Structures are given as structure tokens and as C-alpha cells.
Structure 1
Amino acid sequence: MSPVRIFTDSTCDLSDELIHKYQIEVVPLYVVFEELSLKDGVSIKPGRLFELVDETGKLPKTAAPSPIDFERAFEGAVQAGDDVVYIGLSSELSSTIQNASIAAANFPDDRVAVIDSRTLSTGIGLLALKAAHWAREGKSSSEIKTMIEAFRSHIEVEFIIDTLEYLHKGGRCSSVQHFLGSLLKIRPVVKVIDGAMTLTDKVRGKREKALQQLLDRALAQKDEMDTEFLFITHAMAAEEAAYVKEQIEQQTNIKQVYITETGCVVSSHCGPRTVGIVFAKK
């Protein structure tokens, strides 16, 4: 049985430290400002993304890696005698899975397994860490694919968005909604449901209230949490993320609580000061 190498894409929002520790390989998506096409996490970071949005007044477009990008990423592992398991951004949100599947078909004997995460951000990252753990245990690519596809429905991803500006620029809320939301200090709550981003609530009032509600909703499920990993994922909100981490560690028995920063693709949709909690249910 061939060794298994785990691949994901840049929307996994894992830190460089975790990517290195678990030997996960990352295929970047693209962030496009007019004629400028940049690789997420490679040639552009979130801080620069926010600067460019402020400078231009426009959001970038995002694009999936092409089938050729995936084929080039996978071929080194296959030529080295390894099997590949790729876990990518939900097919409800992007063509990454479709393009990875096209690339996988060019390799013989099912050497590349493609898995639709049905989630985003560190929801994907959490699945990638699970897959890497099972690969180290000697599981085959087909076993890992079966286990991840069974486990992915356990992933809970919820974000609190601080500003409606990016949703407005991206055409996801009208000018009237943007004006009223900003006037009333409304912060949307977004959850991943059936592979798609779904607005589940709107919190009116201070930012601290919205953050506490996000935390309370997660802690209400603490007895159902898988205790291996939990992520607090943020965009330019390190202080709030640290507070949430402290509360989670005090009130649950999660073994590893990680803080990570959202990459450019997620940040371009949600904007700065977004905070999310990501975990798996048992």
C-alpha cells in the first residue's frame, strides 16, 4: 500500500506552523484585482488585501486553481510513489472540486482521491488535520476518503461579521440594507449549512455583544464537541480571538484550541474583524 499525502487549498486557513507540522500541501486559489492575478497566501496576504480594497474601493474577484494547477501540484507526489487525498473548498462555493477532479482523472489507478469538504475555512483545515492523522496511522487513501466523507457532516462553522461593507461591495446586501445595518450597528451571523454560507442571525448593538453570542452558541454545544481540535479563526481581530480561545479552554476539555487567520479568499467576502469558531461534533 502506497503512503498517502494530504493536499488541500488555501481556503483551509491553516497556519504555516500546522501545515508544516502535519505535512499538508496547499494549492492556492487566486485573488484578482483587475489585471493583477495573485496567489492567495503566496503573493498576497490579508493585510495587503484590505489595503487594496481601501485604495480602490472595490473587492477583488476570486478564482479556483485550474485543472493544470492541480495536476502540477499532484504529479510530484504521484511520481514519488505516494497516493494523494485532496480535501477542497465546498463545491457549493467554488469550482475547485470540479477542477481538482478533472486533474485527478489524468492519473492512473485512482492515485488521486478528491473530497468535497462541504465547508470552508478551518472547517476544511480541521478535516485536513484528521486526514493527516489517519495517513500517519497507515490508512489507505480510499479508507481516508470514506472516513472524511462520513465525518464532514460533523463540522460546525459559524462567523460573526463586523461590517456590512464587504457584503455590500460584493453585491450580497443592498445599499438600503447596508445603510440601515451600519446605522443600527447590525452584525450578521453566517453559518455553513449544506455546504453553503447562510445568514442565520443578525446581532444588533455593540461588537462585544455579538462576540459573546458567538461564544455562547458554541459553548451550548460543548458536550457534543469532538475534543481533538477547535479553531478560532479571525481577520484582523487577534485580541477578540485570544479572548474566545481563553474562554473555550476554560469551559471545555478540547485538547488543542488553535487561533488562525482567515486567508484572502474568505477575507474578501467577510471583511476585517470577522471572528469564527470551528469545531467538530462527536
Structure 2
Amino acid sequence: MKVAVVTDSNSGITQAQAKEMGVYVLPMPFMIDGTEYLEDINLTQKEFYEHLSGDHDVSTSQPSPETILNLWEKLLEEYDAVVHIPMSSGLSSSCQTAKMLADDFDGKVQVADNHRISVTQRRSVQDALDMAAAGMDAEAICKKLEETGLDSTIYVTVDTLKYLKKGGRITPAAAALGTLLRLKPVLTIQGEKLDAFAKARTMKQARSMMITAITRDLENRFDDMTGEKTYIDVAHTDNDEMAQELAAELRELFPETEVRVEPLSLSVACHIGPGALAIAATKKLEIGSLL
């Protein structure tokens, strides 16, 4: 079976990278001062952060059903089936929309809700490509993605509470107090949603907390003290220099694994603002054991 792999730009995969990888990426729409922009089509990372920092009205949206259907129908002219990997259903309604639309394709479109976003979602896309290359059919790929979806973990610290307040994730009073005390909250994504994890007084302390948390997850959840069986990613929102420093620390701790640095997807950046840092770990999928 010839299987096409589709995702959205929440994965952080650019249109150029998609061509190199052999996947198809739906650009996520953003409304900025009432005008719609498409990520990586007519909205670059630089332009996005200029709008966000300039106090423009910026909000996230989702691809239209027509856009999704047109892509699937075009792909099914060339492929036998499609595996579609949207961002987690706990973070966006785009997954439920895709599942509903797929009902009319008689199993030729499989939508995987594997509870991931950004760099962990990107890892799922690569896993799907590897499974397709190994000869697995779309239904089996989708099933495995959903079975292993929670084999990932993300910790995020933000530079400002402004955008969490704007999105209603913390109250104005909590934001004012946190700003006064110069708190750097550490947040976590464990599949369904963005949750509070800890509070730090400095970015250095927040980085230390994230490293401790990811190390604990590797040991206790993934049974991997060396990082050999785990992918580690550092992600950021317009904060590459500090992300590279954090990655260097992790490479010393986990020399057995590659530590990659990537920008966080704009949909995440919209809610946490510039200057944020994240560490993600994803358990490696052993494709050979599935065949």
C-alpha cells in the first residue's frame, strides 16, 4: 500500500522541510487584526513575532474543511491511503474536524489522535513515514501512533506572563502578582493540555527544573537513564541563543542521543509569547519489532 502522510504546521515542519521529508503540511491559519494569514505561506516566523510583540490582535484558527478535503482528494489520486496527523485533540478542535471529514472516505483516510504537538508531533510524522516505508498499511500506522501517543513529554518555561493572561490561562491578578515577583512558570504538556508544573524565580532556575523533570521522565517513564532510547528536542519561541545553550547542557547529560533545536510552532507561540524555552522527550519507536 502506498501511504501519504499529512500533518499541519503545528508540527513545526516547514513547507521546504516537508518536500525534503516527503510529507504534506497543511498551513495553520492565523487572524491578525482581522486578516487571515497562513503559517509559512504568507506569514514568516519573523513577521509573526513582530505582530505579536507589537500588540496586534493575533489569534489562532484551523484549516477549513474545504482545504483539508481538497488535499486528501488530490493525494488519493496518487496514493492508496492517507494518514493524517493533526495536533492533539486536547489542544485544538482540528483533530475532531478531520476525524469527522474522514468518515466519508471509507477507511482510505486515517486520522491519528496521538495527543502531540510541535516537536513531539514532528516525531510522530517521522514515525509514520518509517512505518509506511516498512510496508505497514494506513490503519496499522494510525493504530500504532495512537497506542504510543503518550510516550512523550514536554516542559515549557515562559519569559512573560502577558500572553498566558491574554489567552485566559491565568487570571489578571495572578499575572500581576507573578510579574511583580518576577516568576518564571514552568508548564507541562502531557498529551491533552498545557498545565502548570512549577514556579521559578529566574530563567536559569526554570531551565534547571526542566532538565530535572525530563531526566526523571526518562528514568521512570521511558526506562532510559542514558537517553539512548529517546529523542530529545529543545524548542523555543524566538529565543535561539538560549535554546542552543540549553541543548549543549543536555548533550553533556545525554551523550547517547541527538539533541535537536527547533522553533516552537506559531500556534504555541501565540499563547506563550516570545522568549520561551521548552524541552521535549519522545520514546523511540522500534519499527522492526512491529513487522
Q: TM-score, normalised by structure 1?
A: 0.91
Check the 8 A contact 1:59/1:268 in 2, yes or no. Answer: no
* Deviation of the 1:172 alpha carbon: 2.2
Match of 1:26 in 2: 25
Summarize the Cα distance change of 1:31–1:83 in structure 2 as closer, same or farther, 3 Å threshold: same
Summarize the Cα distance change of 1:236–1:66 in structure 2 as closer, same or farther, 3 Å threshold: same
Residues 1-282 of structure 1 correspond to what in structure 2 (within 5 A)? 2-14=1-13, 18-55=17-54, 57-107=55-105, 109-204=106-201, 206-223=202-219, 224=222, 225=224, 227=229, 229-281=231-283
Structure 2: 5+ residue stretches without partners: 285-291
* Deviation of the 1:221 alpha carbon: 3.5
* Deviation of the 1:216 alpha carbon: 2.4
- CA distance, structure 1, for counterparts of residue 68 and residue 91 of structure 2: 18
* Deviation of the 1:194 alpha carbon: 4.4
Paired AA for residue 236 in structure 1: D
* Deviation of the 1:164 alpha carbon: 0.3
Paired AA for residue 230 in structure 1: I
Check the 8 A contact 2:110/2:138 in 1, yes or no. Answer: yes
Normalized per residue, the structure richer in strand is 1
> Could you list the per-position Cα deviations for residues 168-205 of structure 1 after superposition, in whole angstroms to 9, with x for gaps in the alignment?
2222222222221112111111111341111121212x
Q: Which has the higher contact order (CA 8 A, sep 6+)?
A: 1
Paired AA for residue 115 in structure 1: A
Check the 8 A contact 2:3/2:79 in 1, yes or no. Answer: no
1:106 partner SS? helix
* Deviation of the 1:228 alpha carbon: 5.1
Check the 8 A contact 2:29/2:60 in 1, yes or no. Answer: yes
Q: Which moved more, 1:268-277 or 1:168-177?
A: 168-177
Paired AA for residue 169 in structure 1: K
2:200 partner SS? strand
Check the 8 A contact 2:232/2:282 in 1, yes or no. Answer: yes
Summarize the Cα distance change of 1:266–1:34 in structure 2 as closer, same or farther, 3 Å threshold: same
Paired AA for residue 252 in structure 2: Q
* Deviation of the 1:30 alpha carbon: 1.1
- CA distance, structure 1, for counterparts of residue 41 and residue 255 of structure 2: 35
C-alpha root-mean-square deviation of aligned residues, in Å? Answer: 2.0
- CA distance, structure 2, for counterparts of residue 254 and residue 66 of structure 1: 42
* Deviation of the 1:50 alpha carbon: 2.2
Check the 8 A contact 1:229/1:256 in 2, yes or no. Answer: yes
Paired AA for residue 11 in structure 1: N
Structure 1: 5+ residue stretches without partners: none
Check the 8 A contact 2:13/2:25 in 1, yes or no. Answer: no
Q: TM-score, normalised by structure 2?
A: 0.88
1:105 partner SS? helix
* Deviation of the 1:43 alpha carbon: 1.6
Paired AA for residue 67 in structure 1: P
1:158 partner SS? strand
- CA distance, structure 1, for counterparts of residue 210 and residue 26 of structure 2: 30
Check the 8 A contact 2:158/2:272 in 1, yes or no. Answer: yes
Check the 8 A contact 2:185/2:200 in 1, yes or no. Answer: yes
- CA distance, structure 1, for counterparts of residue 10 and residue 72 of structure 2: 18
* Deviation of the 1:21 alpha carbon: 3.8
Summarize the Cα distance change of 1:77–1:16 in structure 2 as closer, same or farther, 3 Å threshold: closer
* Deviation of the 1:66 alpha carbon: 1.7
Q: What is the total number of aligned residue pairs between the two structures?
A: 278
Summarize the Cα distance change of 1:227–1:20 in structure 2 as closer, same or farther, 3 Å threshold: farther
- CA distance, structure 1, for counterparts of residue 256 and residue 59 of structure 2: 37
